[in-house]
A = this chain, B = another copy of it.
Amino acid sequence: MANITKKVSWSSRGDDSALTGEGTPLLNGTEIPKPSRQLSGSGSVFRIGRFSTVDLEDDITSEEDPIRGRPKEIPHNEKLLSLKYESLDYDNIENQLFLEEERRMSHMGFRCLEISRWVICGLIGILTGLIACFIDIMVEKLAGYKYQVIKENIEKFTEVGGLSISLILWAVLNCAFVLVGGIMVAFFEPIAAGSGIPQIKCYLNGVKIPRVVRLKTLVVKVFGVICSVAGGLAVGKEGPMIHSGAVVAAGVSQGRSTSLKRDFKMFEYFRRDTEKRDFVSAGAAAGVSAAFGAPVGGVLFSLEEGASFWNQMLTWRIFFASMISTFTLNFFLSIYHGKPGDLSNPGLINFGRFESDSVAYYYYEIPLFMCMGALGGLLGALFNSLNYWLTIFRIRYVHRPCLQVIEALLVAAVTAAVSFTMIYFSNDCQPLGPEHNEEYPLQLFCADGEYNSMATAFFNTPERSVRSLFHNQPGSYNPLTLGLFTLTYFFLACWTYGLAVSAGVFIPSLLIGAAWGRLCGILLASFTPTSPIWADPGKYALIGAAAQLGGIVRMTLSLTVIMVEATGNVTYGLPIMLVLMIAKIVGDYFEEGLYDIHIKLQSVPFLHWEAPATSHWLTAREVMSSPVTCFNRIEKVGTIVDVLSNTSTNHNGFPVVVQVLDSDEPAKLCGLILRSQLIVLLKHKVFVELARSRLSQRKLQLKDFRDAYPRFPPIQSIHVSQDERECMMDLTEFMNPTPYTVPQDTSLPRVFKLFRALGLRHLVVADDVNRVIGLVTRKDLARYHLGKHGLEELQLAQT
């Protein structure tokens, strides 16, 4: 698939860093080894293959050659599975070094580790809360300043005429903000685009997305989201908090920053995928918690989206991080707002408290709520479909950074123009009561003592608009305003999601839903003007918001809790659940969830919860990759270097075998070793011969592996002389001596369950005398999925 250069992809900019290795001498004193099966002139495949470290089979790349001749045809991206993504290893590498360390450790040592885990979770919570606080204050300051300037300008020109100057001012201000945000994202860190939730979902699923948890990403994300919200786009600042929390967690838990080249020599024990992933779950939860003031919702989000093996202690730590995060945010915001100690605004968004007396619901309203849920599912599916086609378009045509920035500017300008037009032509004047809570009431063409209600919907951060829709008095909005607003905002939000800016989709979804929900409420009230039960359209706004958001993102359990925690009232727990479930069922009938669409479009080998239902006829023999490159327990250095440098079969895990003497049979499995381990071994020249000659040399320790984690150098940067190539390397101490194995007749669901439940990266398929006959990796399982016509197999590609 070399003909579509996916520049918009999550890892499009991964090549630059790897390119540094290109100039370094490869294997001094020897010729560059030929890949076992050179592809005919496939330059780009070769290039990608060399610097990415993925499990790819050479027979797959050869399959794609026919397409090479037809550069016009662009394949359907959904049906591909990218080979460029590595897997995380959630399974501990229990080699001798590890076991020795664990056995040396006392009970007290384990207790200290446990305490440091709690301390890290506390730190994650505090830092995530502070970041949320910073974003909130910055957005409020910048947006406040912007609205103040425009409001004064509009008021100046309303009487005089020449409102177009105000429009231009508005558009220019918005574009300036978006320009800054867009440039940062498009040029410096494209992975910081969007909400980051799909990326975090993939990470928690066990897929390593390049650069997703780096400090640079965090910085770009934070400033990017401030710019996009202040720039008046139809976006929210809540989704990015989840990504920010995850980055914070990945950074804090490692006790160092590779970007800043600082190592605090702390938490070295946690420098491996297993531990890091646990902390990233906690960080994501802390992010949700800070965004919505929903600590329990955060925990559930982490579990619903990420976890596979539920561990009680881990869950409690995640809960702790969430709790600290929302508390920190709450505490500092209360100081900022001049009401220290008032802890009633626990999140970035606060839906305002629904007082229970005024908004009780009756059981005969439940069918209505269910209809709204179905409507939410439909509209959500529409939103997702539109966004899907838009994303396909972007992948094909809008892949250069400058084009991406221009598109963002265009959206900013159109948003400003549309808003202005709507405000200009609307004549929905509302009395400006004494208890009004609009921060920037625009009088415009209304009479004195009145304000333009359409303007309040647009002329506000989306968070405030949601709150107005939930809580304003009946009669604050007229139906036409709401209808028009829903329509325009729907398309604007759909266009905006996927732009090269940092932005979330939660708040726009809630806003769209709240608008049409309130509209439903108003219509119901107008049908039965005498009945008091439909009096408050606010509750319909709430239900509509839940339905729309559920229809777009398709979360149920966690979203219910988030909504309940954000409204501060559990009365609506039951209807919200019902609505979310119906929205999900209806939506799933037409189209997948928004995050899943984006994950699919990136061809990520994402593992779902269970194997496809009708996959029992497949066995490990059919799904596994074979033949497998194995190493002997004591292997020649040259062989190892050749295999690792072989760019056509870029394996990551190698079974270690014991060859039976004087026998042609394949050797017996005795362990599993990873590319990263071999690289460290080569770097430290742990050769049998050298060990004999230099007895004083210090033994390789676990610390050496941890120091190299997670950015192991490419094989090309390691110098191996011709003499050294003849040395032998003893892998016994470093390999995992007890890899999980399955017999070749194991059914796919059984293999899948083992793989998923334990978070494996490599699963060895062995025959009845323990000989290696294949290796199952993530892509082997992820490529089977249930399509419209039964079980389908995705093609593997290197895009």
Q: Evaluate contact between B341 and A364: CB separation under 8 angstroms.
A: yes
Number of interface residues of A (CB under 8 A): 91
Residue A754 contacts which of B340, B342, B609, B758 (CB distance < 8 angstroms)?
A: B758
A313 to B588, CA, bound (A): 14
Q: Evaluate contact between A610 and B364: CB separation under 8 angstroms.
A: no
Residue A614 contacts which of B106, B327, B754, B757 (CB distance < 8 angstroms)?
A: B106
Inside 8 A of A94's CB, which chain B residues have their CB? Answer: 746-747, 750
A647 to B745, CA, bound (A): 34
Task: Indicate whether A353 reaches chain B with its CB closer than 8 angstroms.
Answer: yes
Interface residues of A in 300-317 (CB under 8 A from B): 300, 303-304, 307-313, 315-316
Q: Evaluate contact between B565 and A296: CB separation under 8 angstroms.
A: no
**Would you call the interface of chain A mostly helix, strand, loop, or mixed?**
mixed
Q: Evaluate contact between A754 and B738: CB separation under 8 angstroms.
A: no
Q: Evaluate contact between A581 and B320: CB separation under 8 angstroms.
A: yes
A296 to B570, CA, bound (A): 10
Task: Indicate whether A617 reaches chain B with its CB closer than 8 angstroms.
Answer: yes
Task: Indicate whether A483 reaches chain B with its CB closer than 8 angstroms.
Answer: no
Q: Evaluate contact between A363 and B341: CB separation under 8 angstroms.
A: yes
Task: Indicate whether A102 reaches chain B with its CB closer than 8 angstroms.
Answer: yes
Task: Indicate whether A478 reaches chain B with its CB closer than 8 angstroms.
Answer: no
Shortest beta-carbon distance from A298 to chain B in Å: 11
A609 to B614, CA, bound (A): 32
Inside 8 A of A363's CB, which chain B residues have their CB? Answer: 331, 334, 340-341, 343
Interface residues of A in 138-160 (CB under 8 A from B): none
Q: A319-B557, A758-B754 are in contact. Are A295 and B577 (CB under 8 A)?
A: yes
Inside 8 A of A617's CB, which chain B residues have their CB? Answer: 99, 103
Interface residues of A in 86-115 (CB under 8 A from B): 92, 94, 99, 102-103, 105-107, 110-111
- Among listed A40-48, A52-60, A354-362, A374-382, interface-contacting one: A354-362
Q: Can you sample 25 A-B contacts with CB below 8 Å?
A: A92-B750, A94-B746, A94-B747, A99-B747, A103-B617, A110-B614, A111-B613, A295-B574, A296-B560, A296-B564, A304-B312, A309-B757, A313-B610, A316-B556, A327-B574, A344-B356, A344-B360, A346-B574, A569-B570, A668-B768, A669-B768, A737-B745, A738-B745, A738-B750, A770-B770
Taking Cβ atoms with an 8 Å cutoff, the residues of A that contact B are: 92, 94, 99, 102-103, 105-107, 110-111, 295-296, 299-300, 303-304, 307-313, 315-316, 319-320, 323, 326-327, 331, 334, 340-344, 346, 353, 355-356, 360-364, 556-557, 560-561, 564-565, 568-571, 573-574, 577-578, 581, 609-610, 613-614, 616-617, 658, 668-670, 737-738, 740-743, 745-747, 750, 753-754, 757-758, 766, 768-770, 786, 790
